[in-house]
Amino acid sequence: MGERIKLTASDGFSLNAYRAVPEGKVRGGVVLIQEVWGLNHWIRDVADRFARHGYLTVAPAMFDRVEYGYESDDYTPAQFQVIGELMKKFSHETAPLDIDAAIKAAAEGGKVGITGYCFGGRQTWVTAARGAGLSAASGYYGGGVPNYIDLEPQVPTEMHFGDKDTGIPLEQVEALKAKHPTADIYTYDGVHGFCNSDRPENFNEAACKKASARTLEFFHKHLG
């Protein structure tokens, strides 16, 4: 459904992205931030899904400054070292430039919301704390909660976590909830990555449907 495009960040860097456009009425724009596996099959599928629901969706390739074109459908531990090396070189300073380029592209659809999974969930919260011209943020199991718990969202924000996520202990989620009573923090019967349908060992269809329905409802309310 979607297409591969290039975005240009404000510092001139050209990065890959995936853009999915609704066939009918466009309700708004969505920036979709990847997991650590790049613009792989699943993320492109998610972008297509948001487009089917009326949102012009742009997913930037967040690791292009480290390894241009990186993406993988290999979820086995064989990729862990590769991703570890990518993350070691990943710059939190330039990441906002790439996200902002995606927001600008998604704004063609109207008001823009941001969503993302795992690494993308973290970026969702961090970007919501910048405001960045967004109208809403809905993130999924953003890792490293203690590293962003003190950031205050500047836009309506919700987050979704699995209650059996051993990488994000429930007490961290509860701490996030307590610190940010105006954000909607939801937990579901699920492990980390409960919404990735390409990972059947983690995927919980019921939990993902519920969380995804909430995201859509949230975007309908704040984007259109």
Residues that bind other proteins (CB under 8 A): 36, 77-78, 80-81, 83-85, 87-88, 118-119, 122, 143-144, 147, 165-168, 192
Q: Tell the smallest beta-carbon distance from residue 79 to other proteins (Å).
A: 9
**How far is C-alpha 118 from the chain's CA centre?**
7
**Helices 95-106/119-130 angle, 10° precision:** 80
Nearer to other proteins, 158 or 165 (CB): 165
Interior angle at CA 116, CA 72 and CA 14, nearest 5: 65
Helix (H) or strand (E) holding 139: strand 136-140
* Shortest spacing between CB 166 and other proteins, in angstroms: 4
Q: Which is nearer to other proteins, 120 or 156 (CB)?
A: 120
Comparing CB distances to other proteins, the nearer of 83 and 103 is 83
Phi, psi of 52 (to 5 degrees): -60, -25
- Give the Cα separation of 164 and 168 in Å (integer): 8
Nearer to other proteins, 38 or 113 (CB): 38
CB of 118 to other proteins, least distance (A): 7
Decide whether 101 or 195 has the Cβ nearer to other proteins. 195
- Give the shortest CB-13-to-other proteins separation in angstroms: 23
Residue 132 identity (one-letter amino acid)? A
Q: Name the residue among 220, 222, 218 with its Cα closest to residue 184.
A: 218
Q: Maximum Cα–Cα distance for the chain, whole Å? A: 43
Nearer to other proteins, 155 or 168 (CB): 168
46 three-state secondary structure: helix
CB of 169 to other proteins, least distance (A): 9
Task: Report the nearest approach of other proteins to the CB of residue 142 (Å).
Answer: 9
Q: How many residues does the chain have?
A: 224
How far does Cα 100 stand from its chain's mean position? 13
